[in-house]
Amino acid sequence: MKIEFFHTMNYWGPNHGDSWPAPPRICDTEWVSATYGHGFTECAAALDAGFDSLNFAEHHYSPKQLTPNPIIFAAVAGQRFPGAQIGVFGTDLPLNNPVRIAEEYSMLDNLLDGRLRIGMLRGTPNEYLTYGSNPWESRERYEEGTLLLKACFTEPEPFGWEGRYYRFRNIAVWPRRVQDPHPRILVSGNSKDGAIFAGRHGLDLGFSYMAAEKCAEHAELYRQSAAEAGWQPTADNLQYRHFMYVTPTDEEAEETMKSLGSGGGLMSLFKGATPDIMMTMAQIGAALGGVPKHVKIDPSMAPPMSMGPPLYGSPETVLARIEAIHDVLGFGRLEVSLGTVNPLPHDAMLSSLKLIGEEIIPVLHSQAESTAGALR
């Protein structure tokens, strides 16, 4: 099993609060510099610990996630760490021009000499309040955009595209990718539609924070769709993302998490947003889930996301939780974040990474991809 380090560059500056969007006036560029400096140090510590990849993602208007263009950050990280595998999971494709994204990833794959994996995602509801994208078009626009991106990578001659959402008279992406025909592409399996789409088109499948049982339901649809398309995914095609913080004892991890106030999970990213923005995001979330446009959503009535327990605690506790998820889902890649919602203190993150390298990674690496046996 592989283990990957997901870093969102959570702003280290004081007094940025919990609002979304966050007012730019409170952004101190010296703290931004410190944030990125800490981030690179933590990435180096992760590689020293034995992590298999450094991963980044696209998010907007939030101090919690200072990577509005993860492709830039991936390029810098790839130059700083010349042996590291780099993942961008992912680009919020409905917010972007797929042809431009294909050009940027082609350039990045050359800068990284073929060390790149990429993910095409639809983005969280707040992202649809950035560039005016229509969430009711999101699913179809996303699927067409992903297929257009693949065509940009695979068509050997200049070509045109006449789709429902994208129209281009001439497309000829330069430079060619180092990886032939293109870097591996991952899509989200948090929805059934995403899992079926990935299986149908030969893509990797990623899950974020969901309970293992729900992931397993979608993974089965993925495997069925892949079989119908004439191929068979392996464990390496499945990636599972969750929060991780490892300390010598469970009590230490619980004390740190309590002090950070991160019990709200992903919704902590938006807990300071105004009621009207929360109402809008609830409606957008419903749209992303396929609810018709005329149906009004009351945020208080929305079912909570089916999140699995985070990977917090002693090495023994964390390994047991990984084993339980693995037994249900059978994934081959574990992607972990140590500070998406509330940043761990820098020293705490470094000490946790060191302990993960000593106690967690050797166990995960020792498990063959084809073996579903115990991790301990």
In the chain, DSSP assigns E strands to 2-6, 53-56, 86-92, 116-121, 159-162, 167-171, 185-188, 204-208, 238-246, 311-313, 333-337
Q: pLDDT digits over 124-136, tens only?
A: 777 777 787 777 7
Q: Greatest CA separation found in the chain? A: 61
Whether 299 shows a pLDDT value over 70: the answer reads no
Whether 252 shows a pLDDT value over 90: the answer reads yes
187 backbone dihedrals φ, ψ, rounded to 5°: -130, 160
Whether 314 shows a pLDDT value over 60: the answer reads yes
What's the pLDDT score for residue 376?
39
CATH number, domain 2-263+306-366, options 3.20.20.30, 1.10.580.10, 3.50.50.60, 2.60.40.10: 3.20.20.30
CA-CA distance, 288 to 192, in Å (whole number)? 12
Q: 13-17, 42-46, 189-193 — which is least confidently predicted?
A: 13-17
Q: pLDDT digits over 191-215, tens only?
A: 899 999 999 999 999 999 999 999 9
Percentage of the residues of the chain whose pLDDT score is greater than 90: 64
Residue 88 pLDDT grade (very low, low, confident, very high; cuts 50, 70, 90): very high
Whether 371 shows a pLDDT value over 50: the answer reads no
Whether 369 shows a pLDDT value over 80: the answer reads no
What is the rounded average pLDDT of the residues 99-122? 96
Kindly tell me the sign of the dihedral angle through the C-alpha atoms of 301, 188, 372, 234.
positive
Domain spans, the chain: 2-263+306-366
* Contact call for residues 99 and 173 (beta carbons, < 8 A): yes
CA-CA distance, 202 to 243, in Å (whole number)? 28
Alpha-carbon Rg of the chain, whole angstroms?
A: 20
What's the pLDDT score for residue 297?
56
Q: CA 42 → CA 293, 311, 348, distances in Å?
A: 43, 19, 11
What is the residue-averaged pLDDT of the chain?
86
